[in-house]
Amino acid sequence: MEINAIQELAMSWGILLIPIIVALVSLIKVWLPDNIKAKAVPGITTLIGIVCGFFVIGFTKTGFIVGILTGLSAGGLYSNITAPTKKIK
């Protein structure tokens, strides 16, 4: 398997894909209807993660697994960012 320049660049900053996915989801949620916004976030983050995994690793089983893990990590980060905080007394 030959690694081209774009894949080499993507592998060098692969961890930065998670905040990029979070930003993309925030932008996508602007156009979603109110009744499906919360339900769509895990699916959107996982789908974008799989696409990024295929882009970085290639169309292999490993790329699929890395994509799922990246997407789920981004979904968890997004839910922690947008979750309301409770005040501790």
Q: What's the pTM value of the predicted model, to 2 decimals? A: 0.70
Q: How far apart are CA 8 and CA 6, in angstroms?
A: 5
pLDDT interval class at 16 (50, 70, 90) = confident
pLDDT in tens, 40-83: 888 888 898 898 888 877 788 888 888 888 888 888 877 766 66
Helices 5-12 and 37-56, packing angle to 10 deg: 120
Q: What are the residue ranges spanned by the domains of the chain?
A: 17-82
* Residue 10 in tokens: 């993507």
25: exposed, middle or buried (C-beta count within 10 Å: 0-12, 13-18, 19+)?
buried
| Contact status, residue 56 vs residue 63, Cβ threshold 8 Å | yes
pLDDT at 4: 66
